[in-house]
A = this chain, B = another copy of it.
């Protein structure tokens, strides 16, 4: 739980009262590789903090998987669309490694917003940061050639190659596994 609060402090420093209130509402969760945190069709009512491990979020388009993001240690994770709208998720979140997470329900979090203004501020600030991160992902996805997108990926997150099967990376880059293999073969 220390890692969770270390991460929170990086965004906004909380009073000890707010920290304790949060601590009471987070629950630890340990999941094995290959399992799903969220599957499409179900409403996602929880926000997760990934303490240890790796996940990916993907949707199914024409029977094929399209990976939208990879998540590693010390990030908040959820199926945001479902969490926000309370509608069934279109996204699947899968464990790429055995992972340790902390979860809090939307109802609990909303209750804390009323009790502690600073917790709502924290979440507002986290949304800001996550928004601009998503913007960056969007801009990179728009890069013209697959080679540029791949180069950008290994430049920004070189560790990804060692932790994620290439098939998922190709679906993240929006190309076929064959094309990714050919790009990699010419360095």
Contacts and interface: CB of A to CB of B under 8 A. Distances in A.
Interface stretch (A19-27, A30-38, A133-141, A158-166): A133-141
Interface in A108-143: 113, 117, 120-121, 123-124, 127-132, 134-135, 137-139, 141-143
Secondary structure dominating the interface of A? helix
Given A123-B124, A124-B120, A81 B135 contact: yes
A128 B84 contact: yes
Interface in A150-187: 174
B85 A132 contact: yes
Nearest to A64: B144
Measured as residues with beta carbon below 8 angstroms from the partner, the interface class of chain A is: 20 to 34
Contact of A113 (B121, B138, B174): B121
A113 B117 CA distance: 10
Quickly give the copy total for this chain. 2
Contact of A124 (B59, B81, B127): B127
A105 interface: no
Given A117-B120, A124-B124, A138-B141, 17 more contacts: A68-B138, A68-B139, A68-B142, A80-B131, A81-B132, A81-B135, A84-B128, A84-B129, A120-B121, A124-B127, A127-B127, A127-B128, A127-B131, A131-B134, A134-B138, A142-B174, A144-B174
Interface of A: 59, 61, 66, 68, 80-81, 84-85, 113, 117, 120-121, 123-124, 127-132, 134-135, 137-139, 141-144, 174
Task: List the 7 shortest-distance A-B pairs measured between CB atoms, nearest first.
Answer: A127-B127, A124-B124, A84-B128, A81-B132, A117-B117, A138-B138, A142-B174
